Structure 1
Amino acid sequence: MLQGYQSWVYENQPAIIGRAAVVGPFEGQGPLADDFDIIHGDLMLGQDSWEKAEKTLLEESNQLAIENAGLTKEQINFYIGGDLMNQIISSSFAARTLSVPYIGIFGACSSSMEGLSLASLMIASGSANYVLASACSHNASVEKQFRYPTEYGSQKPPTAQFTVTGSGSAVLAREGKGPKVTSVTIGRVVDMGITDPFNMGAAMAPAAVDTIQAHLRDLQIGPGYYDLIVTGDLSKLGYQLARDLFDKHKIPINDTQYFDCGMMIYDYEKQKIQAGASGCGCSAVVTYGHLLKRLQKGEFNRMLVVATGALLSPLSFQQGESIPGIAHAVAIERGEA
């Protein structure tokens, strides 16, 4: 199963038998709206705090993914969840509602593919029959924690990103119809000394390229093996930096093959989003909503999703620390429809 230095290749390929993407109103105004299962018209979701609203998003996508898999929560062996809140409270409180064995993770915005990686390993190794993996974020709760409260109305630079309000969930099984997870590459922490929390695309881009390079090396394949290579939330600046690094390292990835979730979910012309999208929910809802739907329709057969995360905290920023980056890659191929 271990391939090369940091990758897993599965002989018994886990199947994604259920998935769901739930988003807020701003995401529902973007170009991917038709691919989301639920679009809320209110950021508060009927709750009395942003944090409770975020938990509700996660509870909804979890329940819907389980239903779409044709299962009940009692059949789920393990739940793996992550978010951006202190002590990952959204995932932990959603796990309280779900009441199944729970593993909480924190990979910042890479949590979606980190969770999917661990879930696939549990399935492929025979450690579970069904595993639920999810990740979520909420624009108002994240802005309040990592930058400035929304009510403050601070001016943001063009390099800043807009946190997605959304939750994506997937159910993996040892067998069944649906896309297959074929391999995984676990990323290393890469830190190039970026200290600006309003420029996280630049902080994460080197980690994304490092993981993609490791994946291709470990599996001894070229980028052309995949129809689509998608990073998590580098957005405009980080995307261009990644392209420059591909050229520098002579990785032949072309413009028609490489995309970024942070540039796909919003309309740059109509929505004021600065550089693009970010947040744990970004790669989660784009992957489990838009990309898997395209894969199952047969628009392409193989994709590599590389979720990226900036591993900072408010405390580390206040103490003058730089921003380490991380990226985890999951290869997904079209399975039986």
Structure 2
Amino acid sequence: MLIGHQSWKFENRPIIRGAATVVGPFEGQGPLANDFDIIHGDLMLGQDSWEKAEKTLLEEAAKLAVENAGLTKEQVNFFVGGDLMNQIISSSFAARTLAIPYLGVFGACSTSMESLAIAAMIVNSRSAKYVLASACSHNASVEKQFRYPTEYGSQKPPTAQYTVTGAGASIVSHEGKGLAVTSATIGRVIDMGLTDPFNMGAAMAPAAVDTIEAHFRDLQIEPGYYDLIVTGDLAKVGYEIACDLFEKHKVPIKQTEYFDCGMMIYDYEKQMVQAGASGCACSAVVTYGHLLKRMRKGELKRILVVATGALLSPISYQQSESIPCIAHAVSIENGGKE
């Protein structure tokens, strides 16, 4: 049901029945490697293009999530997913392979929680029994589309982020026991006038803070309600700006542990990732891999995942448009119903 101005509370507590993560070789060298289901040793995944490799990542994650949920893909009612490619071709072409009724969504790097929020809403309303939610990205395909092809070898500033190669998927169900999706806050588009595609963290931070503030206001809770709050891929630059904004707006974020997925997936000492990670797969693989495993171990009871996205395109950048940004928040809690 609608609660407050822009949030949903899922009174039927949809369950994350199964989840899966698939990543590339660089992600497999980071500190969260043990939390991923499949780590590929080849960026091409045996395909003849980066884009086909990205599609394959998603197909593998989706099929494994269905398997981990103890289902067949024929039992899944709907597939909600998206990515960063033009016309979300990675997800749409994967949907062709999966042959599951499909809703394609685009929220840039916020897509992981956008798809999960929509899946939970569908299940909560009893409009489906099982819904697949996903997001994916590939470093080489994203760099080619939004910045410079990897082969170009361009220098990057310290504010730049490294796009995650990977895919994360989950099966949301109205029955079962375990981790429940309890609420979601849908973000507003926030544009602070930034135009630099190599400084996405700074552009997205205000949107993340705006959505988190709306979540607390709508649900009438404080940060301490959660054991952990993570933003999607602000990385070092955006994370520091977000912390400053929380302080300025008098949001008591220090009541809980607050961190960013873009700072968790890579080793800053050993991997040259500038400010940190980004990409649709960033929050997807950190959430569906690392965070859900921590919850199942009992280390975390309640978390809020706030995926952030920069809604630019190559055309808007070439026309000197600023970068509109958005963030979507989803709360996940231990203790699903029978």
8 Å contact kept, 2:224–2:256: no
**Aligned residue pairs, count:** 337
Aligned to 1:319: 319
Distance in 1 separating the partners of 2:23 and 2:97: 20
Aligned to 1:214: 214
1:50-129 maps to which residues of 2 (within 5 A)?
50-129=50-129
3-state secondary structure, aligned to 1:254: helix
The alpha-carbon deviation at position 27 of structure 1 amounts to: 0.2
Residue identity matched to 1:139? N
Distance in 2 separating the partners of 1:203 and 1:177: 39
The alpha-carbon deviation at position 11 of structure 1 amounts to: 1.1
3-state secondary structure, aligned to 2:167: strand
1:284-308 CA-partner distances (Å, limit 9, x unpaired)? 0000000000011100100000000
Aligned to 1:308: 308
Distance in 2 separating the partners of 1:335 and 1:96: 35
The alpha-carbon deviation at position 152 of structure 1 amounts to: 0.2
The alpha-carbon deviation at position 58 of structure 1 amounts to: 0.2
Which structure 1 residue ranges, 5 or more long, are not aligned? none
Residue identity matched to 1:154? S
1:21-41 CA-partner distances (Å, limit 9, x unpaired)? 000000000000000000000
The alpha-carbon deviation at position 254 of structure 1 amounts to: 1.7
Distance in 2 separating the partners of 1:153 and 1:335: 49
Aligned to 1:166: 166
8 Å contact kept, 2:226–2:256: no
8 Å contact kept, 2:15–2:336: no
3-state secondary structure, aligned to 2:140: helix
1:255-274 maps to which residues of 2 (within 5 A)?
257-274=257-274
Aligned to 2:275: 275
1:142-175 CA-partner distances (Å, limit 9, x unpaired)? 0000000000000000000000000000000001
Residue identity matched to 1:311? L
The alpha-carbon deviation at position 100 of structure 1 amounts to: 1.1
Distance in 2 separating the partners of 1:336 and 1:280: 27
Aligned to 1:150: 150
Which structure 2 residue ranges, 5 or more long, are not aligned? none
Distance in 2 separating the partners of 1:335 and 1:240: 33
Residue identity matched to 2:194? I
Is 1:5–2:9 an aligned residue pair?
no
Distance in 2 separating the partners of 1:255 and 1:318: 42
Distance in 1 separating the partners of 2:160 and 2:310: 13
Residue identity matched to 2:164? V
Residue identity over aligned pairs, in percent, reads: 78
Distance in 2 separating the partners of 1:57 and 1:292: 20
The alpha-carbon deviation at position 335 of structure 1 amounts to: 2.5
Distance in 2 separating the partners of 1:306 and 1:10: 17
8 Å contact kept, 2:88–2:104: yes
1:135-146 maps to which residues of 2 (within 5 A)?
135-146=135-146
Q: If the length of structure 2 is used for normalisation, what is the TM-score?
A: 0.99
Distance in 2 separating the partners of 1:83 and 1:178: 28
The alpha-carbon deviation at position 256 of structure 1 amounts to: 5.9
CA RMSD across the alignment:
0.9
Residue identity matched to 1:240? E
